[in-house]
Structure 1
Amino acid sequence: MLFKLEPNSPKFEVFVKLNEELLHFLEHAIAGGNFKRSLLTSGDVGQACWNNFKAPRAKNDLTRDKFKKLFVELKKETQNNRQRLFDTVESHQDLSAFFTAPNRTLLSFLSTNTFNALKALMTHLYCSTKDLTGVIAGSNGQCINTHFNNFRQENGLVCRACGMEQLAPFRANVENENQWRADYDHQLCKSKYPIYAVHPDNLIPLCRVCNQDAKKAKDLFECSNGLSRFALNPSTEEAHNILYIEIEELLDPEPKAVLKWNTRDAVTLDKLNTWEDVYEIRNRVEGKYISIVNLIQDEINPSNVQELDVGVQSKARPVNANTLKRKEWAFWEQKVFSAINAVDKSAFWAQLEFSNEQGEEGGEYIIQGD
């Protein structure tokens, strides 16, 4: 994460309750026996899950059906394995501990059928069960839109993972419950770590680019070559104070803004590289500022070298913390202008003069109709 989550970031009560439902079910399934109502909690959430089952001849399984299919597969496991599954889930509720010592083989003792049934249940709890009226009623009436707006009040409008995009556009004259919201990203992807599919600490609203375009189903703790890696804990760790931008190839026609890490610590470097790989941070930053001359022209548009110098210095000043929460790219733009301010700006002025001359000649061509 570019910026860690604010300490008072709210938990989504629906995910708290559904996570408790999973723990209750796994504990009461240890003994085996018959599939029955007491396998789920006695309150509104458990009742909503129990009542949500497919009608005769319907094609798609609903919540109770998903629980039953997992129960059937669990009965094929040994009682020791059923106990082990419950113990594993219960003892791994602290996600900070998982980020410190990630275990990619947490559920390797389960059969393939049991693992797939667990994954199917957890995916359904996240995708469909969270929106059931009874589940929301049993979660203090808080729907996901309410939670998202509360999250945004604490953490701001801009994605905490990248600092580049808004979480979702905010519309005037629209009630909070009807505002658009960002998708919730599973830090530990639900396909590989299904026990965290509805864990309240594992789900974070991210911008569309981070979630859908960049991350998708990437595993924070596994490289593309299959090796293990570490990742930044979004609740306690952030990258903004251990990176910088440097201008390279200053005398070339197109100088480059290059993102670099400001640490030699091996574990921290591994976490930064994971963050960069998962969200494609370097490609996005260096792509955004692929033309520094264009950036200067768009943001300062100086008419002489003195205006260029003053404008760059102004843009290089530290950004207010509230601005970072409100304005996309504010963090990165300040970093780039700080890098520009640290080098000889005469090369940029020469390119700006040339660009302006070309623009004026093009304008005259259009006016004269030649």
Structure 2
Amino acid sequence: MLLPIRNGLAPSAVFLGLNALMREVLLASCSGRAVDQSNFPEDIWHAVQANEPTRAHLQAVRDVIDATDTTIRYELYLAFQEVTSVRQLFSDQALAIPEPPEAVTAELKKLAAHLFERTSKLADITRACGESIKDHYSRYSADPAPGNGNVCGMCATELLSQRRSYISANEQWRAPYDHLLAKEKYPQFGVDPDNLLPTCHTCNSKAKLAKDLLHNSEGDRRICFDPWVEHAHGKVILRIDFDLIDLTPKVSLFMTPADVAEQEKLETWNDVYRIKERIDGEFITLREKLAEDLDPSSLENFKRSIESKKIIKMSAARLTPYNYWRSLLYAALTNFPDQTLEQLRILSLEGLDPYGDAAATYGI
């Protein structure tokens, strides 16, 4: 996570309710007792019992757990009881991940997918929880606090979704809820609200895909940011270096962790969402970026516009894609000597008129 999730942003009531239901069904099944309906919102049980497909998936999980060896069932109960939220797994490498038997996992996958894709949209579930998924998304993506804004908080490079005029908030297009831990691999967290985060299309469908936050490509456990309380903001910088041969400026992202644990979390974020290559790629066309934002009419105006844009872009980081990263770019420029800034000013003039004679146009 790059941008901090704002305080007071409540999780989805639907996912809270369905996750409480799923967790109670698992614990009740493993311990051989009846489902305690006081452990999830009132009327959810009636809503799911009234929906035949959901009822069938819940019963299938209960049946397959009931058919499991008593010892294994007890071990499974202890594992489910210990991990109360997916967030525990993000920072604790020693915490065991529940690994149900294959038959149980197969039914859990079906249940998790059905709850997420079907049950969550039922009108009775919406009434039982007091809001719909669209209601929560509208709250999450709202610009005023405690909304987190319409820019993807994972990368700040893309809108969560385009907004349309004259369309009510609940009828706007919405971004997908990314399963931080894939429901296919970790089905017990398939509707855990702590495991579900709206992200942009690139983060969800291009960069992350089936990557595992908890294991690297070699299968070793690793730690990652808990996006609800941790973030990479303030822990990354942009650096501009000049090629020694043709003096072409090159922008690169660098991480500035405070300790080893933070370094690993930054590396996981970068690996899963391919942050560095996306940011470095965005600023290959540096002259055009400078031309769009800065005043090249004189060196002094150029310097003043750098200072101004550094502040303005960061203040609008949740409103427009790449504003966060442009602010870091201008923060890097403020440390450059006048001679280097003059080189970049000339470069920005070429960005204004990439196919013409910028020097002649601006009298330099």
TM-score calculated relative to the size of structure 1: 0.85
Alignment of 1:1-370 (within 5 A): 1-30=1-30, 39=35, 41=37, 43-53=42-52, 62-102=53-93, 106-108=97-99, 110-140=100-130, 142-153=131-142, 154-249=147-242, 252-263=246-257, 265-300=259-294, 302-317=296-311, 319=313, 321=315, 323-343=316-336, 344-352=340-348, 359-360=355-356
Cα deviation 1:117-151 (Å, max 9, x = unaligned): 112111111111111122112112x1111111111
Q: Which whole-Å CA distance do the structure 2 matches of 1:64 and 1:96 have between them?
A: 28
1:355: Cα distance to partner? 6.3
d(CA) in 1 for partners of 2:330, 2:265: 26
Contact 1:162 1:210 in 2 (8 A): yes
SS at match of 1:289: helix
CA distance in 2, matches of 1:189, 1:220: 9
| Structure 1 residue identity aligned to 2:232 | A
Letter matched to residue 299 of structure 1: D
Q: 1:215 to 1:25 in 2, by over 3 A?
A: same
In the alignment, is the contact (CA less than 8 A) between 2:108 and 2:187 conserved in 1? yes
Displacement of 1:84 after TM fit?
Answer: 3.2
CA gap 1:320/1:269 in 2 versus in 1, 3 angstroms: closer
Q: Deviations over 1:193-217 (max 9, x none)?
A: 2111111221111112111211122
CA contact (8 A) 1:26 1:82 kept: no
CA contact (8 A) 2:291 2:351 kept: no
Alpha-carbon distance change, 204 to 356 in structure 1, aligned in 2, over 3 angstroms: closer
Q: Residue 252 of structure 2 aligns to a residue in which SS?
A: strand
Query: Compared with structure 1, are the counterparts of its residues 293 and 113 closer, same or farther at alpha carbon in structure 2 (3 Å cutoff)?
Result: same
Q: CA RMSD in A?
A: 2.6
Worse-matched range after superposition: 165-174 or 347-356: 347-356
Aligned to 1:260, the other structure's residue is in SS state strand
**Distance of 2:86 and 2:353 partners within structure 1:** 57
Q: TM-score, normalised by structure 2?
A: 0.87
CA distance in 1, matches of 2:27, 2:107: 17
Give the equivalent residue in structure 2 for 1:367: none
State the aligned residue count. 348
| CA shift for structure 1 position 15 | 1.0
CA distance in 1, matches of 2:321, 2:57: 41
Taking a change above 3 Å as real, the CA distance of residues 254 and 49 of structure 1, as seen in their structure-2 partners, is same
CA–CA separation in structure 1 for the residues paired with 2:112 and 2:210: 15
Unaligned runs of 5+ in 2: 359-364
Structure 1 residue ranges without an equivalent (≥5): 54-61, 363-370
- CA offsets 1:3-31 (integer angstroms, 9 cap, x no match): 22112111111111111211222233236
Q: Distance in 1 between matches of 2:243 and 2:252?
A: 12
